[in-house]
């Protein structure tokens, strides 16, 4: 359903392989690119703020996009202001991002701050764009537990993409080599966070201990030997199946699982 008039831009970052830590195209960003390709075909624009000579960026070009625009910045610079400046001028209707960066702070704040700075609405966890017409889009949002919600959102908007979005196509070597990386010089704004905090390899989190708070030894003994038994669930004996089913149905409705 590639739309010829729709201007879509996907923000991409450099990811890290979960085991080896090697630079690669980021998983969620690649999904955002895939979604952008569904929306705008190969008129999709890609934008990155950072080092233009990073080889991993070519992974996105290998998905069949002719060019990637880079706002050149050193490591540790704040990407937000330059991205906001660029997007204000770019006259796009949809900005797609991943949910969380794979390196650095990875706070997942970027789409929120972008939307706030641009004054655009934000869709979190975009799974699918159904229709775009008359200045608004009808989209599906991914919820936990595999659920979906339909939203209508005004254009232009920012959307973040998580693992519920379509799986990214493979990156092909030829197009990745041929693709153009356009570099633009921008003003550098330092990110103060990294100067006042430290990044370390993650420590394993302490396991939560099962603490038994009992006043007497007898209570402790009982707690340690007790079988995991529910405390007093309701038991319906000698009821007709209809009455039983009604009780179940009532509980299911209270829990909101019957739609």
Q: Which of residues 154-173 bind another protein (CB under 8 A)?
A: 154, 157
Asked if 18 is part of the footprint of another protein (rule: CB under 8 A), the reply reads: yes
Q: Does the protein bind another protein through residue 104 (CB under 8 A)?
A: yes
Q: Using the rule CB under 8 A, which residue among 4, 134, 215, 225 binds another protein?
A: 215
Binding region for another protein (CB under 8 A) out of 33-41, 54-62, 68-76, 208-216: 208-216
| Residue 226 lies near another protein (rule: CB under 8 A) | no
112: alpha, beta or left? (left if phi > 0; alpha if psi -120 to 50): alpha
By CB under 8 A, tell whether 247 contacts another protein. yes
- Number of residues near another protein (by CB under 8 A): 84
123 Cβ contact partners less than 8 Å away, ≥ 6 residues apart: 139, 141, 151, 153, 157, 158, 159, 160
Q: Please, which of residues 131-150 interact with another protein by CB under 8 A?
A: 138, 140-141, 143-150
Q: How far is the CB of 80 from another protein (least distance, A)?
A: 11
**Structure-token pair, residue 202:** 């993650």
Q: Which residue's CB is nearer to another protein, number 15 or number 62?
A: 15
Is 199 a residue that touches another protein (CB under 8 A)?
yes
Q: Which of 193, 214, 223, 224 binds another protein (CB under 8 A)?
A: 193
For another protein, the closer CB: 173 or 221: 221
Contact status: 225 vs another protein (CB under 8 A): no
Helix (H, G, I), strand (E, B) or coil at 69: strand
**Candidates 38-46, 50-58, 70-78, 230-238; binding stretch for another protein (CB under 8 A):** 230-238
CA distances from 216 to 133, 231, 259 (A): 69, 21, 48
**Half-sphere exposure of residue 197, counting CA atoms within 13 Å on the CB side?**
8
- Residue 154, burial from CB neighbour count under 10 angstroms (0-12, 13-18, 19+): exposed
Query: What is the rounded distance in angstroms from the CA atom of residue 102 to the CA atom of residue 14?
Result: 8
């Amino acid at each position: 359903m590639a739309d010829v008039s729709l201007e879509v831009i996907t923000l991409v970052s450099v990811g890290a392989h979960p085991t080896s830590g090697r630079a690669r195209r980021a998983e969620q960003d690649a999904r955002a690119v895939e979604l952008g390709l569904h929306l705008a075909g190969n008129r999709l624009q890609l934008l990155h703020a950072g080092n233009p000579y990073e080889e991993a960026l070519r992974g996105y070009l290998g998905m069949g996009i002719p060019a990637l625009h880079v706002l050149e910045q050193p490591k540790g610079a704040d990407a937000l202001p330059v991205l906001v400046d660029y997007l204000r001028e770019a006259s796009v209707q949809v900005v797609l991002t991943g949910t969380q960066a794979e390196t650095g702070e990875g706070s997942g704040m970027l789409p929120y701050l972008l939307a706030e700075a641009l004054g655009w609405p934000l869709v979190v966890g975009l799974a699918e764009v159904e229709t775009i017409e008359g200045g608004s889009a009808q989209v599906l949002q991914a919820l936990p537990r595999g659920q979906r919600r339909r939203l209508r959102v005004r254009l232009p908007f920012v959307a973040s993409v998580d693992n519920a979005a379509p799986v990214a196509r493979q990156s092909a070597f030829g197009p990745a080599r041929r693709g153009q990386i356009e570099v633009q010089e921008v003003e550098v704004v330092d990110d103060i966070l990294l100067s006042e905090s430290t990044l370390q390899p993650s420590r394993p989190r302490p396991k939560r201990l099962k603490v038994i708070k009992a006043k007497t030894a007898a209570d402790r003994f009982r707690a340690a030997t007790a079988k995991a038994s529910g405390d007093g669930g309701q038991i319906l004996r000698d009821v007709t199946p209809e009455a039983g089913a009604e009780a179940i149905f009532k509980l299911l409705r209270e829990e909101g699982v019957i739609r």
